[in-house]
Amino acid sequence: MTAPTLDELSLLHANICQALGDPKRIQILYALYEQPLHVTALADYLDTPQPTISRHLRVLRQRALVTTERNGAAVVYRLTDERMIAVLETMRKILRDSLSRQSNVLNIM
Amino acid sequence: MTAPTLDELSLLHANICQALGDPKRIQILYALYEQPLHVTALADYLDTPQPTISRHLRVLRQRALVTTERNGAAVVYRLTDERMIAVLETMRKILRDSLSRQSNVLNIM
DNA sequence: TCCATGTATTCGTTTATCCGAATACATCAA
DNA sequence: TTGATGTATTCGGATAAACGAATACATGGA
């Protein structure tokens, strides 16, 4: 297994970012930062249908952002690397600064 | 303009991440980190058609990840906030660690 | 004004993403 | 084995993103 080329690295990198590019998945990561949770608990916590949560978790799992551990019939999800939360927090700082500079970023929605 | 709710913040946050979720845009940000560039120079540097670069830049500009400055007929793009590169670098560290973990698993099997 | 250079947009198509609804699959206990 | 609980997947339709090709638009100089 050789080191990835710059293009391959950019592709992997973009894949990670793309997994972060959904508000529900952002919320899932923050929830799992508080504590590991199984699927139904997450679904309840985020007031979201279980299949929807399960699909989002699959995306995060495929990118290795979360890991799983079976506990009876339940599957407990946890963050793979808490540094990812630090990353998200820095992004939020940048975002807040950006918002205070130009308050019309909301228009992109 | 009031502070965003948690849901609104997650949405904005995800929008930023989604803008990062394309390998070409990752490459653009790293290129602009080296130095500000105008569109054609960027297109040449990344060996990519100018309209493609222009569309990617629009996405980054809408999310306030890059800013523009006109220089005659040319439009020079630059990073809005270099902290975003620090964010990307941390993500790459996490990604590399993730890859090496997977490699270990593959070696065992 | 006309031309050359540089940038942005539109069009059409393809591909990807997202969700609700339904259902299949997995695990454990009785 | 059956039922209860928990998880994952499939299907179908709607929405969004991506690209090549063509072209419109902007700027400055002759």
**Per residue in A29-81, pLDDT tens?**
999 999 999 999 999 999 999 999 999 999 999 999 999 999 999 999 999 99
Contact, B54 CB vs strand C, < 7 Å: yes
Are B30 and B85 within 8 A, CB to CB? Answer: yes
- For chain B, first and last CA: distance in Å? 56
Q: Is A15 on the interface with B (CB under 8 A)?
A: yes
| Confidence category of residue A107, pLDDT binned at 50, 70, 90 | very low
Are B67 and B77 within 8 A, CB to CB? Answer: yes
Are B76 and B38 within 8 A, CB to CB? Answer: yes
For strand C, which nucleotides have at least one atom less than 7 Å from a protein CB? Answer: 4-10, 17-23, 26-29
pLDDT score at B105:
52
Closest CA to B47 of A18, A6, A4: A6
The top-level CATH class assigned to B6-80 is mainly alpha
| The two three-digit tokens of residue B24, written as one number | 């070409």
Domain residue extents for chain B: 6-80
- Assign a CATH topology to domain A10-80: Arc Repressor Mutant, subunit A (1.10.10)
| Confidence category of residue A106, pLDDT binned at 50, 70, 90 | very low
| Minimal-distance CA residue of chain A relative to B59 | A108
Contact, B38 CB vs strand C, < 7 Å: yes
- Chain A residues 36-65 with CB within 8 Å of chain B: 64
Closest CA to A67 of A58, A52, A79: A79
